[in-house]
């Protein structure tokens, strides 16, 4: 029992010690303006490196990814039809598609699908 406790303490202490050592050694001591600015052939940048990002584009990209994953989840349903109870599979598929349609209706109702204001 004592050996188990000792091995648990050592198992916990070694990673904590390594993390503390690396944390203290990797601290940046000097905040240099040149190091924190974007690299542009050694010259000062002419414009800001932070370009504005379209929130509508981001929302469309996220919705595309969500519906893409949902399509991947729907495709195997066709393969399961042969080995499953038809009514149970039909009801679960209908429930899944209803959730998708409700999500689409919510996005449409919130105005996330409008390209121009």
For 51-96, write each residue's pLDDT tens digit.
777 777 887 788 888 888 888 888 888 777 777 788 888 888 889 8
Q: Do 24 and 67 belong together in one domain?
A: no
Residue 117 included in any domain = no
User: Contact 90/97 with Cβ under 8 angstroms?
Assistant: no
- 15 pLDDT band, cuts 50/70/90, is very high
Q: Is the C-alpha dihedral spanning 97, 98, 99, 100 positive or negative? A: positive
Shared-domain flag, residues 76 and 105: yes
In this structure, are 63 and 105 located in the same domain? yes
Residue 41, domain member (yes or no):
no
pLDDT at 113: 73
- Per-residue pLDDT, averaged over 24-36, amounts to 66
End-to-end CA distance of the chain: 70
Q: For residue 115, what are its two tokens?
A: 């390209």
In a domain, residue 12? The reply is yes
Is position 47 within any domain?
A: no
Best CA proximity match to 114, nearest among 56, 39, 50, 32: 56
Give a yes or no: residue 48 inside a domain: no
Residue 101: give the domain boundaries: 55-110
- DSSP states of 53-69 as a string? --HHHHHHHHHHHHHHH
Quote the number of domains for the chain.
2
Same domain, 29 and 68: no
């Amino acid at each position: 029992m004592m050996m188990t406790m000792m091995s648990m303490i050592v198992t916990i202490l070694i990673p904590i010690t390594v993390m503390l050592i690396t944390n203290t050694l990797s601290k940046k001591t000097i905040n240099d303006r040149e190091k924190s600015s974007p690299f542009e052939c050694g010259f000062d940048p002419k414009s800001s490196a932070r370009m504005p990002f379209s929130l509508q584009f981001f929302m469309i990209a996220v919705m595309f990814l969500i519906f893409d994953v949902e399509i991947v989840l729907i495709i195997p349903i066709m393969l399961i039809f042969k080995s499953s109870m038809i009514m149970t599979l039909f009801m679960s598929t209908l429930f899944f598609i209803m959730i998708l349609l409700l999500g689409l209706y919510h996005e449409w109702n919130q105005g996330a699908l409008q390209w121009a204001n």
